[in-house]
């Protein structure tokens, strides 16, 4: 008797599900595949931006570089790239949370889905919560401090060494004798995060315009 195939959803925490669920995906697996394609698209756009600016400011990659603001080297890419960070953060957190939910439904000893996301992409989750899903400045949520509220509406992009980041500058604020900072909005790069997620979720990903389907491996 042939052993049923399993699909690996997370190659680091070893989350698997029975069957070749991405061959004819439905429901949660169709959602994962949709998000994967979207994340890959955003990664490729961000990679083009990184490569273009690196060629201008750090072509050999040997410099420690930090640039922020309306620098001529950045051209006109900042508005759309800023939106790409917002979209990427929301979609990446959706993807990770869905994988975490699938794992938790199979095994209640696994982390709850929000805790799983926190363990996988904590810096992206914080940006998602305080900037991408809604600007902390606009909500006055008690979980956010004054510096985080201000940081959420400041232009977020900075080019650090060889890649665009958000959260690269920490805001410090003193108001009515109360000190706060935006350290929880940590720096991250779409390209570097995506390469990390590829190792975890899609090690079969290839560097061309198409996306390889997740493989089904024998149990």
Measured distance CA(170)–CA(154) in Å, rounded? 11
| Position 4 confidence tier, pLDDT thresholds 50, 70, 90 | low
| Strand partners for 51 | none
Torsional class of 19: left (φ above 0), alpha (ψ -120 to 50), beta (otherwise): left
Q: In this structure, is residue 207 part of a structural domain?
A: no
| pLDDT for residue 25 is more than 80 | yes
Domain count along the chain: 1
Q: In this structure, is residue 219 part of a structural domain?
A: no
Q: How far is CA 108 from CA 21, 36, 100, 111, 113, in A?
A: 21, 26, 11, 8, 11
Q: In this structure, is residue 212 part of a structural domain?
A: no
| pLDDT for residue 212 is more than 70 | no
Measured distance CA(74)–CA(87) in Å, rounded? 20
Q: Output the pLDDT for position 2.
A: 55
Residues spanned by the domain of 42: 30-202
Measured distance CA(17)–CA(8) in Å, rounded? 7
Measured distance CA(179)–CA(39) in Å, rounded? 37
| Position 120 confidence tier, pLDDT thresholds 50, 70, 90 | very high
Q: In this structure, is residue 3 part of a structural domain?
A: no
What does the pLDDT look like over 92-112, one tens digit per residue?
999 999 999 999 999 999 999
Q: In this structure, is residue 188 part of a structural domain?
A: yes
Measured distance CA(113)–CA(194) in Å, rounded? 20
- What does pTM read for this prediction? 0.89
Q: How far is CA 101 from CA 3, 90, 132, 140, in A?
A: 25, 16, 22, 29
Q: In this structure, is residue 127 part of a structural domain?
A: yes
Residue 32: CB partners within 8 Å, gap ≥ 6?
9, 22, 25, 95, 98, 99
| Residue 144: strand, helix, or coil | coil
β-pair type (172-175, 158-160): unpaired
């Amino acid at each position: 008797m042939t052993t049923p195939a399993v699909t690996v959803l997370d190659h680091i925490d070893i989350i698997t599900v029975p069957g070749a669920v991405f061959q004819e995906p439905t429901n949660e697996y169709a959602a994962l595949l949709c998000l994967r394609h979207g994340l890959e698209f955003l990664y490729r756009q961000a990679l083009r931006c990184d490569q273009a600016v690196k060629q201008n400011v750090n072509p050999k990659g040997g410099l420690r570089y930090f640039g922020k603001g309306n620098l001529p080297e950045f051209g006109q890419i900042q508005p759309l790239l800023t939106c790409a960070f917002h979209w990427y953060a929301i979609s990446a957190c959706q993807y990770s949370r869905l994988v975490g939910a699938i794992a938790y439904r199979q095994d209640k000893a696994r982390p709850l889905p929000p805790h799983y996301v926190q363990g996988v992409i904590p810096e992206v989750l914080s940006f998602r919560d305080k900037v991408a899903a809604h600007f902390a400045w606009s909500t006055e949520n008690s979980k956010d401090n004054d510096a985080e509220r201000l940081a959420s509406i400041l232009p977020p992009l900075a080019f650090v060494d060889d890649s665009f980041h958000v959260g690269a500058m920490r805001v410090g604020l003193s108001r009515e004798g109360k000190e706060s900072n935006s350290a929880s909005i940590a720096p991250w790069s779409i390209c570097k995060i995506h390469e990390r997620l590829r190792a975890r979720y899609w090690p079969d990903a290839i560097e061309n315009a198409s996306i390889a389907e997740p493989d089904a491996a024998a149990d």
